[in-house]
Structure 1
Amino acid sequence: MSDTLTLSAETREQVGKGASRLLRREGRVPAVIYGNKADPAAIHVSERELTKLLMTGHFFNSVVMINGERTLPKDVAFDVVTDRPVHVDFLRIGEHSSVHVNVPIVFTDEAEAPGIKRGGVLNVVRHELELICDAAEIPDDITISLKGLEVGDSIHISAVTLPKGAKPAITDRDFTIATVVAPSALKSSEGDTSQTEAGEGDTAE
């Protein structure tokens, strides 16, 4: 389960582009907390502390406590030139709210996949899973074993064991997460072999 993160904030007395620019010059990042049937709250947070949380690698699937209020990060805007955070949106949630999160996928047992050992390549279609789960039980990641996979095999969401209480946000199809494909060189070689066999057959006639 993802750790609960903590971030202190101060109320924004003024809003607008001018006020936001001034905050950023002072090392602060404008933000807003919304949702849960309460009025939006304009706040600002420390850029240094926010950057530290962003670098944990699981910021977007972690509960962030802001001045005692439980939130879920929903969006971070970055400066296109400096890549520094310039605005953050947080969603208010209850302790056991049902939340929609993107959880990273970790693939294991590559050495036990015959198709990969023979030169096949793992083609990852989705690096994250969109899940609906309890806010208090957000997983750090979803582990998927590659054991036994051959070239041409695919992993679909129906074959993945999810944590208790979690379910896919996409329910209208059994979507593909990854496939084991033959490398281009192998495909080319197989194609050349087929052409050669066909040619030999023509000569025999």
Structure 2
Amino acid sequence: MPVSALLLIWAFLTYRRDNKEKSELAKNSYLSAQKKEITTPKFEFQSKTYTFKETFSGTVIDVCDGHIWVKNADGVEKRFKIRDVPFRKGHHIRRYALVQYIKDGAYRTINNALIINDSTNNREITDFSEDVFTPSYFTPVNIILYITLFVSFCVWAFTLNYGQVILSALALIYFLRKITKRNRQKFRAEVHQIANRLDNKELTTIE
């Protein structure tokens, strides 16, 4: 191979590496600036930053048919469905969304993540879907494992083979479920901590 071709390849690879480093630096700078802008309590979980964002707060002005009407300080009225936290007329409510900031600067908002009744010191934290607190590859891996398990079982039922494959798939599914359960517990513990720090007092959680 001519020396000029080797030099061109080297220059191309160097250019790609430099561009990648610049891109990573820009992303990290953006993420650092993004984190500095977060003034509410936050925590990090699996390389993602989480915080609560207040979406509405006000006083309950009416309760009827499983719903409440709430008026905020600006006179705006909104209707909400009553969930597990009980409310009466005159109670003060705060509603929060959980915001998930991802490495590349993107974010995801999970509405109605936290509801607080300031008048009774009760709160309700929603049940988050598994994709919030598990790695992104968990879902496709689970799907592949279940397909493998199904196909292996069908083959095994007719040929009495693939028993090892079935056992291996079951073992992997079991370990993935254990990891998911552990992640759920850790994630909810972190969420409870920042919920307490919103107003520096312990609240009773309605499960």
Which TM-score bucket, shorter chain as reference? Answer: under 0.3
Determine which structure has the larger strand proportion and give its number: 1
TM-score under structure 1 length normalisation:
0.28
TM-score under structure 2 length normalisation:
0.28
